[in-house]
Structure 1
Amino acid sequence: MGGKEPLLLPLDADLTSYYASFSVHDKEFSFRFFNLPHPSEDGRSSLKDVKMTCDPENRQLLAGFDDILQHRLKECQDLPSFVLELQDILDDISFAHVKLSLPSPNFYRRVIQEIDSIGWNNLAHVGADLTQLKFRIFDHAGREHIIEVALAVNYPKVEPKATADMPCVVDFGWDEGATLKTLLHHYEEAILQYQDFWTIMEDLDKTFWIMEPENPCRSDTFRRIALGGHCSLSVTIDPLAPRSIPECRFFGSDATITPIRSKLTSNIYKWNKAKLLTENLIEILDIVFPLPEVNAQDDISVSCGICYTFRLPDNDPTNKSFGKEGSIPDRACDNGNCGRPFHTDCLVEWMRTISTTRQSFDVLFGECPYCSHPMAVKLRRA
């Protein structure tokens, strides 16, 4: 079998719906099963009425195998057994698909000639069949940019797919006569546009304590900056006009952030596009920003006051980030003498356990777990 043991998670309390996930040849597959029967008295049951759903790509891959899948559903007595068989079927399909999709000799000759033209020293990685390539480009500041290129077996009739860690999608346009060198030239021009943007973002990361993203990429256009006192500022920068006034959003208690927000409003006329973003923020907000070095010392001040962690894991199996670290504290007590931060989900769960909590529509009204100051939190939509 080409993958690890499947993951099965129930989607309802009656155990009649399940989410299944597994990998085959390093490719992830996920399915949902509905109308599962309850076990019979003799321990035997049929899955003949079970409904299975999946994304369009997997649906296309399984096209023509409907009769086989229905037959196996009738034969299998439990869902784990069927999922293992489904994994085996996809393993066979994937292997056959790879064998039938090998490129022609002309494909190899052309790709090698085009790499020769570009220069092999600019090639960072090449797949065994030459359909997966990674090229490196260095900008004026010495930053290395990796351009990942996927080629179809009938390249160049079918245009290549290219991706890079860029703040905007690069539309390279695939015209007749275009080559990989043409594609890379489009990326070189795009990289040139974002030099000032990356300079601005690197200066932000070096000067301030950045709470989010935890490991910034060159495609990230926002930063959440710690302000101290359990407060933070999220800025979203226009990559094509990085020295313009960014979109700003404050997090924290009203008592703490209202004066800072007022300074932003009253001093915004001082914004100078000739300066770096950090210089403008320091002058306009007129506060002392926590330095990156104090991160370890002040971790306790930004951790959730209920679960005592900074980042919550994403426990929703339907999300791509399932099992990875998710949200950080995004609510705070409005009492200026408290200001403790909380995850919205933690605050909702805590309030629901308190008998004095009231609910009006999708808003819970309760008290801060620390100082009993009134707090309201809006429920997330399912």
Structure 2
Amino acid sequence: MQKSTTFLDTCLPKEFPSLLVHTSESEVFQGIISVFEIDYFVRVEVARTSHRKLKLFVDNQLRQVLEPFSSILDRLSETCESAYEYLLNLRLLISRATAVSSVNDTWRKLRGSDLYRRLFDELCQVGWDCVFSIGEDLNEITFELVDAKERKHFLRCVLTDDYPSQAPLCYIEAPISFSFPWLKGSQPENDNLANIYRQCLQFIHEQQELFDVMDDWDNNTWILEPMESLRKHLYRRIALDSRCSLWIEISPRCPRGIPNLRFLGPEKNTAILRTRLGENLEKWNSQFYPRQNFEKLMNITFPSKPKTKEEKENGQLECGICYSGWLSGIGAPDIPCEMESCGKYYHTMCLYEWLRSLPDAHQSFDVYFGECPYCMHPIRVRKPEM
């Protein structure tokens, strides 16, 4: 296997300098083959099966040139032992076919051949070990970045139709937007994917403290929301016990400072927590993680994430109306009944729709008042934002 990789690395770029190699469900060779100074776009796929089947996709011009030689192409796809051998034979066939075929001079250069070669050079500057995936039409490239804590990040670059006159659209999972200068492609030394990659590495480096803080929450507490703690999310809803939770939003500019927060749960329980935190908030020490400050100032230990499905089901809050826990677009149940013997939780939307359906419920501005569906204790809910 190592011999094959070395052979490919050394011979293929020399013979076909404008071909890109990438893998998905199959091994793919895609790019430009030049014959008699005419550029043709080709794509060769090698299926990962015991019988290595090669498939050829070409542009319209080359399709016309090769049409009389379809039987030879079929034979090559069956008999060639490698994609490299197939490409050599394909180039030879093209040269013989063009010698007997009329080729339109207006198609002497593919419209995108220069762009293709430019992109190939830019990817070489980044390094192929940093390229995570390449779209089939080379319109989307994803790079893998690794930060100082060995965390992996992925930068997705979508090329516009008029690249490099227009900057690519770049996406990376982060709490703030990644931006970079682009002078309409007029400065190739700066306006290229390699420079974007370097700037994104710097951008990730600047977010290290924020990532550390969020990882500390995720690794040492039970996160109720969001269900999937993506790096773009600055908020967390954290379990305190079976009745209360803590909602926080971390500042990206001061990750270790006091976050925006509120306690969720029955007033009787949350009032104690608010009082305890307020009395000790002046002792907040930004040298520690926010989680550590909360535990010290409130004299608590956050419960850890359940390790088994049974533990999770036993501790998960369930809506007393829809009988579900976390719902996409809605979240976890967050409105509790204040009656201590009841303590049922409800999704805001579920409780709002329930109270709206009751003839004896009443409304004051955007707040609905009614009774708990279980114990008839007074309960209220603010109209959710639609």
Counterpart residue number, 1:306: 321
- Shift in Å, 1:310: 0.6
Report the counterpart of residue 137 of structure 1 in structure 2.
145
What SS class does the counterpart of residue 302 from structure 1 fall into? coil
1:292 match: secondary structure:
coil
- Counterpart in the other structure of 1:297: 311
**Is 1:285 aligned to 2:298, yes or no?**
yes
How far 1:345 moved relative to its partner? 2.0
Q: Which has the higher helix share?
A: 2
Query: For residues 139-158 of structure 1, what are the structure 2 equivalents within 5 Å?
Result: 139-158=147-166
Output the TM-score relative to the length of structure 1.
Answer: 0.66
> What CA deviation, in whole Å up to 9, does each residue of 1:123-178 have, x standing for no partner?
11111222211111111111111110111233211111111011110121113412
In the alignment, does 2:351 pair up with 1:336? no
Equivalent position to 2:283, from 270, 273, 293: 270
Q: Deviations over 1:39-88 (max 9, x none)?
A: xxxxxxxxxxxxxxxxxxxxxxxxxxxxxxxxxxxxxxxxxxxxxxxxxx
CA distance in 2, matches of 1:151, 1:269: 50
Instruction: From 243, 261, 266, give the equivalent of 2:256.
Output: 243
Map of 1:326 onto structure 2: 330
User: Residue 83 of structure 1 corresponds to which residue in structure 2?
Assistant: none
Amino acid at match of 2:367: V
Aligned in 2, Cα 1:144/1:103: closer, same or farther, shift over 3 Å?
A: farther
What secondary structure sits across from 1:297 in the alignment?
helix
Compute the RMSD of aligned alpha carbons.
Answer: 2.0
| Counterpart Cα distance in 2 of 1:296 and 1:247 | 32
Matched with 1:360 is 364
Q: Residue 361 of structure 2 contacts residue 370 of structure 2 at CA under 8 Å; is this kept in 1?
A: yes
Aligned identity (percent) is 34
Tell me which residue corresponds to 1:107. Answer: 115
- Give the drift of 1:325: 5.5
The yes-or-no answer on 1:193 pairing with 2:206 is yes
* Letter paired with 2:279: S
Superposed counterparts of 1:43-192, under 5 Å: 104-175=112-183, 176-177=186-187, 178=190, 179-192=192-205
Partner of residue 73, structure 1: none
Letter matched to residue 212 of structure 1: E
**Distance across 2 between alignment mates of 1:353 and 1:154:** 55
Q: Is the 8 A contact 1:226 1:290 kept in 2?
A: yes
Tell me if structure 1 keeps the 8 A contact 2:372–2:378: yes
Q: Does 1:207 align with 2:220?
A: yes
Deviates more, 1:256-265 or 1:280-289: 280-289
Shift of 1:336: 3.4
Does residue 377 of structure 1 match 2:385? no
Aligned residues: 270
- Separation in 2, partners of 1:304, 1:103: 59
SS in 1 for 2:277: helix
Instruction: Assess, with a 3 A threshold, how the Cα gap between structure 1 residues 279 and 296 changes in structure 2: closer, same or farther.
Output: farther
Partner of 1:349: 353
Task: Report the Cα offset of residue 117 of structure 1.
Answer: 1.3
Change (3 A) 1:111 1:259: same
- Structure 1: give runs of 5+ residues left out of the alignment: 1-101, 313-323
Which residue does 2:23 correspond to in 1? none
Aligned to 1:7: none
**Which is greater in Rg?**
2
